Amino acid sequence: MSNLLNWLGDNLWVAWIVVAGLLAAIELLTLDLIFLMLAAGAVAGAGAAILGAGPVISILVAVVFALSMLGVVRPVAIRHLKQGPGVRTGIAALVGKTGVVVEPVHANGGRVKIGGEVWTARPYDDQLTIEAGKTVDVLTIEGVTAYVHESEKPWLS
């Protein structure tokens, strides 16, 4: 037993790394970021032990760092995780989609099929004419008119 305590006293950082690993493993089961912040505190304790701090100092470093992580980093991380990606709906969801020209598209009009629906269309560059059957990218929609540009991905045609 005294050999273990002597070894632990000389290699306190190893104990901290083991604790950090266990806390990180528990985090995988809970996914609430609490145990991950505690694991970060344990890593800070390991760093203090590596730099020669005794057990009391490394415990203080671990506790202060873990509490800081819980108070500062975790709320920010939770806010970002709950925010999620912006979901586009309605007409905004069509911008960036690919369509097929049904009737030639020119400055005075035309028609394209986008996502199963036929839309009136005009070329984004009103000097262009896009022939029927060509693949187009929807750049914007104003009212009921899609402004399109011929797709640079010919394999979609």
Convert the pLDDT of each residue in 20-46 to its tens digit.
Answer: 999 999 999 999 999 999 999 999 999
pTM above 0.85, yes or no: no
The segments of the chain whose pLDDT lies below 70 read 84-85, 89, 153-157
pLDDT given at position 157: 46
CATH architecture under which domain 90-151 falls? Beta Barrel (2.40)
pLDDT given at position 151: 87
pLDDT given at position 154: 56
pLDDT given at position 67: 97
pLDDT given at position 7: 78
Give me 76's structure tokens. Answer: 């920010």
pLDDT given at position 4: 73
CA-CA distances (angstroms) from residue 6 to 11, 51, 157?
A: 9, 18, 73
Cβ atoms of 111 and 140 closer than 8 Å? no
User: Where, residue-wise, is CATH 2.40.50.140 in the chain?
Assistant: 90-151
Give me 68's structure tokens. Answer: 């800081």
**41: exposed, middle or buried (C-beta count within 10 Å: 0-12, 13-18, 19+)?**
buried
* CA 137 centroid distance within chain: 25
Nearest in space to 135 (alpha carbons), one of 122, 146, 150, 147 = 150
- Neighbouring residues of 10: CB distance < 8 A, sequence distance ≥ 6: none
